[in-house]
Amino acid sequence: MTKTGRYDVLFEEVKIGPVSAPNRFYSVPHAAGMGDYYPQANAAFRATKAAGGWGTVSVEETEIHPSTDILPYIMPRLMEDADIPYHENIVAQIKQHGALAAVELAHNGLNAANMISREVPLGPSGNVFNEYYPVQSKTMSKADIKQLLVWQRNAALRAKQAGYDIVYIYAAHGMGMPQHFLSRRHNRRTDEYGGSFENRARLLKQMIEITKDAVGDTCAVAVRFGIEDLLGADGISAKEDGRAVLEYLGELPDLWDVNLSDWSNDSISSRFSSAGHQLPYTNEVKQLTSKPVVGVGRYTSPDQMLSLVKNGVIDLVGGARPSIADPYLPNKVKEDRLEEIRECIGCNICVSGDITHTTIRCTQNPTVGEEWRKQWHPEQIKGQTSNSRILVVGSGPTGLEATYQLAKRGYQVALAEADTELGGRVHQEAKLPGLAEWIRVKDYRELLLRTMSNVDIYLANRLTADDILHLGFDHILLATGATWRRNGIGRYHYKPLPRWQQDHVYTPDDVMAGTPLTDSVVIFDDDHYYMAGVMAELLAKQGLQVTLVTTAPLVSIWTENTMEQHRIQARLMNLGVRLQTQTSLEQIQEDQVTLACTTTGDTRQLAAKQVLLVTSRQANDEVYLQLMARIDEFGDYGIQSVQCAGDAQAPSTIAAAVYAGHRYARGLEEPVPAMPYRRERIALVEQT
């Protein structure tokens, strides 16, 4: 149990059908952009959570048949016996740490475009695929439904053979086939699988029954259920169909894993939600079933987790994003190391990995996805190689992470910051609308640094190249960040905008520094991530008339990868922000700007008292370049290396900046590998 006893309830064993979870920390299924393309990386990623104390660790949705092919999204499969060894490897690595292993068997129904398998998509009724791909699903015959049940049974048997403890039926996120049958929006059938609630719930009931019959003697059977999809009368509502499912089938499976649909509602970013945002829809589930219930809500506070369990809201604390940000969260609770918990900031950069078909990443945890590739451990790092003294210049996300990890290695580190506060861009951006939780990037690292005797922090210290040369450090890291460009150079414009030097032209840095904008403003977004939308929201709330101009077809278009774009655009429209998409800002005049359609080239004038350019950032690399120009003098001052990292090297996301700091700390005074990471290769096997 825990050191203080306060959180003992969270470490109680929970009976789930024929198996028992060792505690209440439950890492729910979630994508990692690895699937069966990167089997060793995925296994190490899941196993790290088990090592960190998550009592149950789940593998993401696993395709049971070629007709549920959702490539290019990268998922594992249990379509045939040849898929079993992949899963045996994951299960073995999870179980070696004493955790239960769960697998989410899935058929995506009409959401599977089958672009690679070229199978005909299946659905309860002939429906259009929900993305912009010219394919529709066929209406499943009763023979098709029987075949689906066979696929589920066979996949469950393979899961059992692979050693899984918990086998899922997937009816969530608007993607699982049973949810499509349940939804009046998708189900227009008139046979025994359509019409009445019992008919629409028939497939879900049959899938539970056939899975329990196949593996229920040794495996727990779980249902992941989207209890509410926020789609109105024709959707699934928690108070009607959601409640009816629990009343009708509540005792049939061994576990209910409940959440909101679709995924963008389940995993809302912190910009639009707080921890526990699903509770209004899921807080009555425990009253409708005696079986254990898993609930999610981006919980990072042990006290909130404890309250939910003690108040009978959930039995198991589900975590996807919190388990990514800190795989060792449960162990830290158990050992009363709460100040060391790396709390999820809800930025959804982890989600972007899956949506962009790349391996997972995290702003708070730079080791995620690198457990096998680079053999990075989230809590452990190699000790110092020498007694070298390190100077880190700049305390943004790169500088903070580098300083912390270097100090953990045992080096003596000095951190110099030109400002009077630590944090760099994070300190500034966390003050903007919706980004308050991002301050955790700074607070987590600053709190730990303040306790380390081998770290000296110097605030209000703006160092020149000459200062640095004379300070007597062995290694120098320049983590001096970046500045928003004032001249309009970005993705669309490769050279400065005409007349950009005028006094009424501003950048986000001006706004964050407190420069007041007092009149109507045109924001030109050629960055396409969150900043222009946040600036528009901030200024609109101050009462200014704001027009947001962007070269993209949607505002803040890259946030489609963090599942925020539709919410950002709706919020701006509700605030009265005028949106000009597929439009370029071509010229700035004294009281107007010239705009041009990016498709036709047609131009027009727009009144503009003030202009805010959100186009791209310029690396603050002046001191680094000045130092490197004097590289021949390094030996005279005892300097062994000077490096530049993070935004100061190449401006990017905060996640990339943290990663850069971590990578520097890991690599200092270590041999440089020929390849930066281990690669997984395809082995050619002769087919029989």
Q: Are 257 and 16 in contact (CB under 8 A)?
A: no
Q: Does the pTM of the predicted model rise above 0.85?
A: yes
Q: Are 168 and 30 in contact (CB under 8 A)?
A: no
Mean pLDDT of 495-504: 90
Nearest to 57 by CA among 415, 287, 421, 320: 320
Q: What is the pLDDT of residue 438?
A: 97
Tell me the residue length of the chain.
688
Q: What is the pLDDT of residue 133?
A: 77
Mean pLDDT of 410-428: 97
DSSP letters, 604-627, are EEEE-SEEEEES-EEE--HHHHHH
Question: pLDDT exceeding 90 applies to what percent of the chain?
Answer: 89
3-state SS, 308-361, equals HHHCCCCCEEEECHHHHHCCCHHHHHHCCCHHHCCCCCCCCHHHHHHHCCCCCC
Statement: residue 682 has pLDDT above 90: no
Mean pLDDT of 144-161: 97
Statement: residue 685 has pLDDT above 80: no
Cα gap 660→598, rounded to integer Å: 35
Q: How confident is the model at residue 253 (pLDDT cuts 50, 70, 90)?
A: very high
Mean pLDDT of 632-639: 95
Q: What angle is formed at CA 436 by the lines to CA 460 and CA 649, rounded to 5 degrees?
A: 55
- Start-to-end Cα distance in the chain: 53
Mean pLDDT of 516-523: 94
pLDDT tens figures, 229-240: 898 888 888 888
Amino acid at 129: F
Mean pLDDT of 79-103: 97
Q: What angle is formed at CA 657 by the lines to CA 652 and CA 663, rounded to 5 degrees?
A: 130
Mean pLDDT of 367-387: 97
Q: What is the pLDDT of residue 3?
A: 75
Statement: residue 228 has pLDDT above 90: no
Cα gap 537→574, rounded to integer Å: 10
The verdict on whether omega for the bond into residue 419 sits within 30 degrees of 0, i.e. cis, is no
Q: What is the pLDDT of residue 130?
A: 62
Q: How confident is the model at residue 22 (pLDDT cuts 50, 70, 90)?
A: very high
Amino acid at 677: Y
SS3 call for 503: coil
The average confidence (pLDDT) of the chain is 95
Task: Give φ, ψ of 624 to 5 degrees.
Answer: -60, -45
Task: Please name the helix (run of DSSP H) or strand (run of DSSP E) that holds residue 249, with its range, or none.
Answer: helix 243-249
Backbone torsion region of residue 396, taken as left when φ is above 0, otherwise alpha when ψ lies between -120 and 50, otherwise beta: beta
In Å, how far from its chain's centre is CA 182? 29
pLDDT tens figures, 128-141: 766 667 888 899 99
Q: What is the pLDDT of residue 1?
A: 67
Q: How confident is the model at residue 263 (pLDDT cuts 50, 70, 90)?
A: confident
Calculated CA dihedral for residues 89, 93, 94, 95, nearest 10 degrees: 100
Q: How confident is the model at residue 688 (pLDDT cuts 50, 70, 90)?
A: low
Instruction: Calculate helix-pair angle for 440-449, 397-409, nearest 10 degrees.
Output: 30
The verdict on whether omega for the bond into residue 336 sits within 30 degrees of 0, i.e. cis, is no
SS3 call for 559: helix
Q: What is the pLDDT of residue 2?
A: 74
Q: How confident is the model at residue 515 (pLDDT cuts 50, 70, 90)?
A: very high
Region of poorest pLDDT, from 26-30, 273-277, 649-653: 273-277
CA distances from 151 to 123, 224, 255, 473, 684 (A): 15, 18, 21, 64, 27
pLDDT tens figures, 567-613: 999 999 999 999 999 999 999 998 999 999 999 999 999 999 999 99
Amino acid at 394: G
Region of poorest pLDDT, from 132-141, 390-399, 515-524: 132-141
Cα gap 194→204, rounded to integer Å: 12
> 279 forms bridges with which residues in the sheet?
none
Q: How confident is the model at residue 660 (pLDDT cuts 50, 70, 90)?
A: very high
Residue 252 in tokens: 């049939």
Q: Are 259 and 266 in contact (CB under 8 A)?
A: yes
Question: Domains in the chain, please, with CATH?
Answer: 8-355 (3.20.20.70), 389-481+620-667 (3.40.50.720), 485-618 (3.50.50.60)
DSSP character at residue 480: -
Mean pLDDT of 499-507: 91
